[in-house]
Amino acid sequence: MNDHQPGSAVPVVNFDKLVQKLDDAIQVLEESRPFAKAGKLPRVFDIARRVLMQPEGCRIIEERAERLELAGVYLGTDWAEPGTLLPTLTTYSLQSQNADTVVIEAFSELRLLAVARGFYLHPSVSAEQAHHYLTQVLAINLGLLFGMVGEAEREQGKLSQISQSLVQYVAHHIGYEHVIDSLIEEIWRILQQRPIQVSDVRKMITQIAICRADPHADLGGAGRGADRLISSLYGPTRACSEDPGTVVYEQRLESMDAQALQNEATGFARAMHDTGLVSPYHASFVRFILDDQDALLTEALACRAPGATACCVTGSWFAR
């Protein structure tokens, strides 16, 4: 359900051969005596890191989640007892510049995903507990979920690709509907600051719209506050309420009388003022009236008050 996939600049490798190397390294770890396991872990982590850089990497690790744990990858670490893990700490691990930290966090999240999906009957964590934990992880790591790159990700370099792929993979199988409410709350928190750059917010709203349109997504009571956000981008006025596409909308503008155009201008201004977002339909409308309808232009940009033009244009129009 997510259209923001990891970057495509992944080295070409023989994936089957790489997976076989991983299996061999796990087997060596399995067959090692407890005192010797620490010396075998670097090879497991190194190969697993390379696997996780590939499009199917998370699936490969999830399928081996039980085997990895029984082999001893968590011995002596904070990840040894999954029932005591705190979702809030995952952000630090996933943003770490230490490759082994990112890899073992990926192991842990995919282990819990395997438990949540019923693939791994864990002795200390139920499927329900694992599912709840992962929904919290997703809510806390919304930036990774939607491919938002910050300073931490830039400092990580290629490791950030693993973290993003992991969170997106988990979301795909857990369901975005479980983080919708947290997502909506975060969007409104951002919009209250009236940011100039709103591309990340648009991505999040688009994902909510996709999730709501998915007939297989059972949202339950989630997402009730999403209507205003979605309509602000995809149907802020009566003439574009069903999101017909800008080509159709522009054809409709050609046949509108003065009152209908006035209503459109007012609707766009209201939506822009309410959320700080500008719909592509708004841009089409402004282009249509730009030449000879200054009064409507002022209305559409919510610039009635003296001196408001610069404010509204800077805060909303060029932020689309």
Shared domain check, 166 and 280? no
User: In 3D, which of 59, 172, 294 has the Cα closest to residue 22?
Assistant: 59
Rounded Cα gap, residues 50 and 64, in angstroms = 15
Residues 6 or more apart in contact with residue 132 via CB below 8 angstroms = none
DSSP secondary structure letters along 38-72: HHHHHHHHHHHHHHHTSTTHHHHHHHTHHHHHHHT
Answer whether residue 12 shows pLDDT above 90.
no
In the chain, the number of structural domains is 2
In a domain, 28, yes or no: yes
Report pLDDT digits (tens) over 128-140.
Answer: 999 999 998 998 8
Report pLDDT digits (tens) over 31-49.
Answer: 999 999 999 999 999 999 9
Split at pLDDT 50, 70, 90, the class of 211 is confident
210 CB burial (10 A radius; 0-12, 13-18, 19+): middle
User: In 3D, which of 224, 206, 204 has the Cα closest to residue 139?
Assistant: 204
The domain of 32 spans: 15-174
Report pLDDT digits (tens) over 256-283.
Answer: 999 999 999 999 999 999 898 999 999 9
Report pLDDT digits (tens) over 69-98.
Answer: 999 999 999 999 999 999 999 999 999 999
Give the pair of three-digit tokens for residue 156. Answer: 């990580």
Rounded Cα gap, residues 301 and 312, in angstroms = 7
Report pLDDT digits (tens) over 282-307.
Answer: 999 999 998 778 889 889 988 765 44
Amino acid of residue 295: A
Residues 6 or more apart in contact with residue 20 via CB below 8 angstroms = none
* Average pLDDT over every residue of 147-159: 79
Per-residue pLDDT at 311? 39
Rounded Cα gap, residues 192 and 4, in angstroms = 25
Where is the domain boundary, 122, 153, 174?
174
Rounded Cα gap, residues 102 and 67, in angstroms = 19
Answer whether residue 315 shows pLDDT above 50.
no
Answer whether residue 114 shows pLDDT above 80.
yes
Shared domain check, 167 and 37? yes
Split at pLDDT 50, 70, 90, the class of 319 is very low
Split at pLDDT 50, 70, 90, the class of 216 is low
Shared domain check, 169 and 24? yes
Shared domain check, 141 and 24? yes
